[in-house]
Structure 1
């Protein structure tokens, strides 16, 4: 009895030891499985984070390319090509399951390569923008100088025009002291002044051309027009055209003008003139430069 009891106790002790060992093994296995599960979840979370990070970097690069393309630079074709690559990478990356670390790593490396190319292009764009800014500054400076030059030229031209007009006005000759006398021509050659129309057979016309140092010297011709009380032109009654204007005159008075005061005198023979008021006009071509009147009874 004692021996059997001892044997049973020994068996129970062995069984407990086995159970304890199995329990320890089970706990160890559970712990190992838990660690594997935790490591797997951490790895999956890490891969997912890498994917999101790569996607975000690609989106930033795409936005930079869109802005650069919108600025219409000479590198637009290259920028568009790189943007197409970015968009394709984003589309391919979106299709991945999110737990393939090798695939995500491949896309990450490709994204870095494209971003490096973009950085080079952006640096070139920055250089072009600086050159354009300097060129625009030079253009603005040139335009300012041109504007100032045009302003000065316009001012000088206006002054020259005003001066030319002043000289033109100043160079015009002044006709002064226009006088007309009716006289009776005697057989002796003597002329006697008269105020009676039926006695007058000569009208003596005289006027002065004033001194003018800036006027052009040379031969001058003036058209003298004498009109009687019935609006008839006396004398030659010839007509001269000056452009669209025409003038019927009594005679032409000519003189050699040498910038000094000179007097012009001309006799106009008349017959059978009627009493009334007579009008005398002196023209420089078509321009009326002097006028007067006289009356015969």
Structure 2
């Protein structure tokens, strides 16, 4: 009987050992499954938080872009170039607003482009403020120019009245007089011939022509003729400001626009004087020009010219 019991006991022990190993393996497998379950649950929870954060950022960016769009709409300027720039920037903001609503567009790109636009907008605010301030200054300057032109007209009228009221008829009679005064713009062609024009951007020089009356009283000989041209901005056109470009008239000194010396023999004659622009890059201003003609140190005529 002892020989029969021993083999059975060995078989039972083997079975028990196998079951124990199987239980241990099942326990380990279940542990691994539980760990994977909780890990996936944690990852899903983190992803949900990240999605919520991204949605919050998109909402915040959308609000910021809408605010920037309103700010751009409120910007006003008279500068055509700046208005075009503002229109382009508004279009960019509208494009970004469309991208914010697109969940597939990377949030970091939206944040970067929004920051760039915000920086550009701050620069525009400074530029527009400067332009508006400059425009106010220009309006004030234009007003001052008009006042100077009015004062110049009054001064010329006063000088003319003063000349007319001189008691010395001999002095007046000896003065030269300019008649048939004409002033016009000249466009110089490539063959150096000229063509009349009333367009400021086509004018290469302003020409003033006039007739000088016969005068038997004035002494014959060389006479210096001058013209002074006052531009629409109130500036006197002259090639320079030194003594070589100055003359005395009516008891004062001033610059002239052009000078011509003639040999006067007491008979009627004619003369033309020109003022040319400094270079091809410099254009004559559009507007009204006031021209005064002098012989020696006294006024002999006036004219006006309008360039469009």
In our comparison, the structure showing a higher alpha carbon Rg is 1
TM-score w.r.t. length of structure 1: 0.42
TM-score w.r.t. length of structure 2: 0.41
